[in-house]
Amino acid sequence: ITRGHFKGQPSGKVTQVYRKKFVVHIERITREKANGNTVHIGIHPSK
């Protein structure tokens, strides 16, 4: 990841590709929801 909030994060494997929204999900890029669940953040593939 070269730009944005997650720049410089340790890279990981692509876990899911959402082609309709032009988004990829990467294994270590997550955040915690209000109820405590962790969810993957969608990142545009050119970033």
> What does the DSSP assignment read for 6-18?
TTTPPP--EEEEE
The pair of three-digit structure tokens given for residue 15, joined into one six-digit string: 């876990």
pLDDT digits (tens, 9 = 90+) for 1-47: 888 888 988 888 999 999 999 999 999 999 999 999 999 999 999 87
| Per-residue exposure over 15-30, b if at least 16 CB sit within 10 Å of its own CB, e if not | eeeeeeeeebbbeebe
Cα separation, 26 vs 44, in Å, equals: 11
Other Cβ atoms closer than 10 A to 10: 8
| Amino acid type, 14 | V
Q: What pLDDT does residue 47 have?
A: 77
CATH number for 1-47: choose from 3.90.1640.30, 2.30.30.30, 3.30.200.20, 2.60.120.310.
2.30.30.30
- For the chain, the domains span 1-47
